[in-house]
Structure 1
Amino acid sequence: MTFWERVRLWPLSILVSVREARLALQALPFVINWNFLRTEFWRRLLFSRRDAWRLSRDYYSGQASSDVHCFGETPLLTLARIQRRAGINAGDEVLEVGAATGRNCFWLATVIGCRVVGLEHIPEFVSRADSVVRRIGCQEQMRFVCGDMEESLPGKPDVIYLYGSNLEDDLITRFAQRCCEKGEGVRVITVSYPLTNYLPGAFELIDAFPAVFTWGVTTVYVQRIVRAA
C-alpha cells in the first residue's frame, strides 16, 4: 500500500478502531469466563508479533487478490446476540466457515459449551488456532480445518455460521449447495443476505434481525435446510 493510500484510509481506520473499542467494552459481560480468558491469553500472545490483519493482507497479496483488506471478525457482543436468536445451545455442533483467528469458536466452546469446528483457508490462522487448542487441552471439543468452503464442509454440524458479507454471488450459491449436503434441519446463519435468494426451496427463513459489526449495522439471517442435496 502506498503512502497516499494509507492517508486516504486513515479516517476510516480511526472510525473502525473507535467502534471496535466500544463494542469490546459492551461485550465485557460475555467474556468474564475463566476458560475463555485462557484461550484469549494464548490467542493474543500467538498473534502479538504479527497480527491477524497483517497475516490476512500478506496472504491475499500473495494470491494476487483484488481485495487484500477483507479480514473481519464478528464482535463478541454480536456473536452473543446471534447465539441467543439462533438458539445455539450446549451440545450443538457449530461449524464456523471462515474462522479466522478462532475467537468465535473458542467463545462458543468455552462459554456456551458447543462442540465447534472452524473452517479457514489461511494456513497460518489454522496453525495458530490449533496451537491454542493444544495449549488449553480442548482437542475433543474443538478443532480447526484448513480448507475451502466451495469444496466441502467438515463435520456433522447442527449450525453453520458464515460471516462473509462481500462474497460474490457464485461463491454464495456454491456455499449454499455445500450446506444442503449436511441434511435437512441444519440451521445456517449468514450475514447481509439470505440463502433463500440463491437456492429457492432449499431453505426456510426462520429469523432475521439487525446486528452491529465494526463497519456498521446489517441484517443477520437464520435459515433452516428443508431440502437436502
Structure 2
Amino acid sequence: MKNFKLFLKVKIFNFKDKIFTIFNFYKNFKYFLLDSVFSFIYLFINPYREVRIFNQKKGLSDIYTYGETPIKTIYKIAKESNIDKKSNFLELGSGRGNVSFFIRLIFKCKVTAIEWVDKLINISKFLNKIFYLRIIFLKKDMFEISFNNFTHIYLYGTCLNEKEILKFTDKFKKESKKAKIITISYDLNFYDKDYKTTKSFDVDFAYGKTKAYINILKEHRNGE
C-alpha cells in the first residue's frame, strides 16, 4: 500500500507538471512539437530501466542513480539564476534531455548537455537533429570535459558522493572562475569553503520539496 501511494503521488505530480508545461509553453510551437514527439517516444522506453541496465553493465554498486527535473522547477531555477539568450548553459547528466531542450527553446541560449547512457543520449541527439536545435550533446563522463566559457552549470547530482563532489569543485576551480553552479539539496560551501551561496530557494520534485542553491567561487581565495 505504501508503494502504491508513492506511485500515485509521483503520477499526480508529473501530471500537474505536464499541465503547467502545456498551458505555459506550448504556445512556442517548436517546443510543442518537440515535447509531443519526446513524450510519444518515451511511452515505449523507460529511462529508469535504461539507466539500471547501463549501470549494471558498468558494474556500479548503485544502479538506481536516476532522477529528472520537472519543467516547472527548471523554469524557476532559470529565472532565479537569470538565464537569458546570452547565457551558455551546461547540464551535467542530462538524462532524457528534457531540461536542455526546454532551456534551449524557451530561453534561446547556447546549451551543452553531458550524458553517458547510450540510449538516452542517442534519442536526444536524434531529436536535436530533426528539430535543428544546435544543442551540443556529448557522451562523456562529467569529469572529462572542460568547464571553460559556461555561464551556468546545472549539477542535479543528488546521487554524487562526497569524493565526486570534491573532484568537481577542484576541477571547476582550475578551469572556470565566473560560472554560476546550480546544485540541488546541498550547497558547495558545505564541501569546499572556496565557494559561497548567492541564493537559495525552495523547489519541487516528485519526491518532495527541497532547496536549490546558486553557488559561485569566492573572489579572493587562499593562495591567490
2-side partners of 1:126 and 1:61: how far apart?
A: 18
2-side partners of 1:34 and 1:121: how far apart?
A: 30
2:157 aligned to 164, 168, 177, which one? 164
1:84 aligned to 71, 79, 82, which one? 79
Query: Offset at 1:196?
Result: 1.2
Question: Paired residue for 2:38?
Answer: 43
Question: Paired residue for 2:115?
Answer: 120
1-side partners of 2:6 and 2:64: how far apart?
A: 13
1-side partners of 2:39 and 2:70: how far apart?
A: 15
Deviations 1:50-69 (A, max 9, x none): 22122112212323333333
State the SS of the aligned residue for 1:128: helix
State the SS of the aligned residue for 1:188: strand
Asked whether the equivalents of residues 94 and 114 of structure 1 are also in contact (C-alpha less than 8 Å), the reply is yes
State the SS of the aligned residue for 2:12: helix
Asked whether the equivalents of residues 204 and 210 of structure 2 are also in contact (C-alpha less than 8 Å), the reply is yes
Asked whether the equivalents of residues 210 and 217 of structure 1 are also in contact (C-alpha less than 8 Å), the reply is yes
2-side partners of 1:27 and 1:138: how far apart?
A: 19
Query: Offset at 1:129?
Result: 0.4
Asked whether the equivalents of residues 147 and 172 of structure 2 are also in contact (C-alpha less than 8 Å), the reply is no
Question: Paired residue for 2:144?
Answer: 151
Aligned residues: 220
Query: Offset at 1:113?
Result: 0.7
Identity across aligned pairs (percent)?
A: 20
Query: Offset at 1:8?
Result: 6.9
State the SS of the aligned residue for 2:86: coil
2:207 aligned to 206, 215, 218, which one? 215
Asked whether the equivalents of residues 183 and 225 of structure 1 are also in contact (C-alpha less than 8 Å), the reply is no
Q: Mapping of 1:64-83 within 5 angstroms?
A: 64-83=59-78
Aligned CA distance change for structure 1 residues 132 and 155 (closer, same or farther; 3 Å): farther
2-side partners of 1:217 and 1:131: how far apart?
A: 33
Aligned CA distance change for structure 1 residues 125 and 154 (closer, same or farther; 3 Å): farther
State the SS of the aligned residue for 2:144: coil
Equivalent AA in structure 2 for residue 204 of structure 1: K
Equivalent AA in structure 1 for residue 25 of structure 2: V
Equivalent AA in structure 1 for residue 207 of structure 2: W
Query: Offset at 1:124?
Result: 1.6
Deviations 1:56-97 (A, max 9, x none): 122123233333333211100011110111111112110000
Aligned CA distance change for structure 1 residues 95 and 158 (closer, same or farther; 3 Å): same
Query: Offset at 1:25?
Result: 2.2
The range that moved more, 175-184 or 207-216, is 175-184
1-side partners of 2:3 and 2:57: how far apart?
A: 21
Question: Paired residue for 1:204?
Answer: 196
- 5+ residue gaps in structure 1? 1-6
Using the size of structure 1 for normalisation, the TM-score is: 0.87
Asked whether the equivalents of residues 104 and 133 of structure 2 are also in contact (C-alpha less than 8 Å), the reply is no
Asked whether the equivalents of residues 96 and 117 of structure 1 are also in contact (C-alpha less than 8 Å), the reply is yes
State the SS of the aligned residue for 1:181: helix
Query: Offset at 1:168?
Result: 0.8
1-side partners of 2:78 and 2:177: how far apart?
A: 20
2-side partners of 1:152 and 1:180: how far apart?
A: 14
Deviations 1:98-126 (A, max 9, x none): 10111111111111111100011212211
Using the size of structure 2 for normalisation, the TM-score is: 0.89
Question: Paired residue for 1:3?
Answer: none
Equivalent AA in structure 2 for residue 61 of structure 1: Q
